[in-house]
Amino acid sequence: MRSETSPVNDLRADSAQSTRPVSVNAKRLSILAFTVLVAALVPLVYRHAVIARSPVGIAVQVGAVAFFLWARVTMGWRSFHASANPLESAPLVTRGPYGLVRHPIYVSLWAIVWAGVAEHLDPVNVALALLIAAGLFVRMVLEERLLRRRFPEYAEYAKRTKRIVPFVL
């Protein structure tokens, strides 16, 4: 009986498998997660549920955009693609916003979306925001798996730096 890999097994892979090449299923799952989050974002934009209008919501979104830009400048503009697959030539970045959280770009996107949806509460908007959050979380998990394989020092970085909320989560 042949053993098959699945995207779920790819997410659960442990560090003992770190020498195995990146599976096609992990890349497909990453692209699927990206597609889901973009597909959920489009209706939110169409429904005018992304842009906050209150001073607090606007402040959260402006802060999130600033954090996003800080992360992009720190990481470099070279590494955006649909699959969560770090570039071979890219170093592990642990400074700047990456010293606060491991995924500042995803955190920024979550903050932007949720600040907007919080001001446009509606079951459809919340469901779309949950799809976006799920897509970003799947990409986070897959990206971390790839980074652990590529950078032996990632395990130590992950121990000292929280994934999403500094010093908490």
Contact 52, 58 (CB under 8 A): yes
Average pLDDT, the chain: 84
Considering 6-20, 64-78, 79-93, the range whose residues carry the highest mean pLDDT is 64-78
pLDDT at 78: 66
| Mean pLDDT, residues 161-166 taken together | 90
pLDDT at 44 exceeding the cut of 60: yes
Confidence check: pLDDT of 36 > 70: yes
- Give yes or no for a contact between 144 and 17, defined as CB atoms under 8 angstroms apart: no
* Percentage of the chain lying above the pLDDT 90 cut: 62
Q: In whole angstroms, how far apart are CA 161 and each of 24, 97, 104, 135? A: 29, 10, 11, 22
Would you state the structure tokens that stand for residue 17, as one six-digit string?
């498998």
96-100 LR contacts (CB < 8 Å, sep 24+): 96/70, 96/71, 97/67, 97/70, 97/71, 98/71, 98/74, 98/161, 99/161, 100/161, 100/166
Q: What is the pLDDT of residues 76-133, one digit of tens each?
A: 876 666 676 676 778 899 999 999 999 999 999 999 999 999 999 999 999 999 999 9
Least confident of 13-22, 74-83, 87-96, 159-168: 13-22
